[in-house]
Structure 1
């Protein structure tokens, strides 16, 4: 990916990414299409309304274009992927990556939009929507395996409760899915 690898005094490759298959958010494309659809619908409605009232001009058209673009940026989900030892969240302009095998903390931010904030020993931080992990079992397995590594190494000082909450939520969702598929619900 164009990263340069340098060797530290200990012989470790700084900047090297672990090799192996990468798990990606399988619902990202659909959510992106939804964001485009909602922004387009708002844009079309605003233009149609202004045209119907006879008030559409270049200034108002530019205003509605900007408003629709802002809504798209707000609704666009981060593209989350997990590889061995890494979790990345790519937004519209930036990508944040955290080493999941050397996590220091995992915090849960409740509010209007729940967020899980992961921080590693290098100071990197990633903020993701926990439903991404709920909907992508392969990504959750990678994170779970790597957080266990962090616990064994003693680097994960804060966050066992947040991870336990997420694991319980995933177990609940999995059980509900199994019941639905088997017709027991």
Structure 2
């Protein structure tokens, strides 16, 4: 593994789940049509396309952090932001939490902050670079959002330590 490189350790399992759901849907629809005697090439292609669409919707983007960069790679596109020259960090709370990162070069990445929470190595790498942005004076807004995420990660880590040690949290 490259020094300073970290990626979402849960991504592979989530990808397998997306494949499984899409495959099960395909098998269910294909089997149902075959049992009813309605299966033909057109319907087979329709079910294949539907299963493919479900996979594309369900598969999570792959987030990775390396020195100075955070990348989010989806099925069709990849977005990258320079984490050592961030301009803004915005936190959108709600049903689907989002963290939007923007750099001095115009790069923009939107990620789910739980990716950072469940991957401390990614957070550590990202936090080091975000502090560089603060030190350089490029981070104009979002320091509070980073503090909020840092507190959340510390809280989750503490709860994890208590759970493993058998102490009440």
TM normalised by structure 2 equals 0.92
Distance (whole Å) between structure 1 residues aligned to residue 23 and residue 147 of structure 2: 40
2:9 maps to 1:30: no
C-alpha change, 1:42 and 1:112, in structure 2 (3 Å) is: farther
1:181 aligned residue: 164
- Of the three residues 66, 73, 76, the one matched with 1:90 is 73
Unaligned segments of structure 1, at least 5 residues: 1-18
Distance 1:115 1:41 in 2: 30
1:103-142 maps to which residues of 2 (within 5 A)? 103-142=86-125
Deviating above 3 A after TM superposition, structure 1's stretches of 4 or more consecutive aligned residues are none
Gaps of at least 5 residues in structure 2 are none
Question: In structure 2, what is the Cα distance between the partners aligned to 1:65 and 1:111?
Answer: 34
Encode CA deviations 1:8-48: one digit per residue, 9 max, x unaligned: xxxxxxxxxxx943111111111111110111011111112
TM-score normalised by the chain length of structure 1: 0.84
Question: How many equivalent pairs are there?
Answer: 167
Contact 2:64 2:71 in 1 (8 A): yes
**Structure-2 residue corresponding to 1:60:** 43
Please report the RMSD computed on the Cα atoms of aligned residues, expressed in angstroms.
1.5
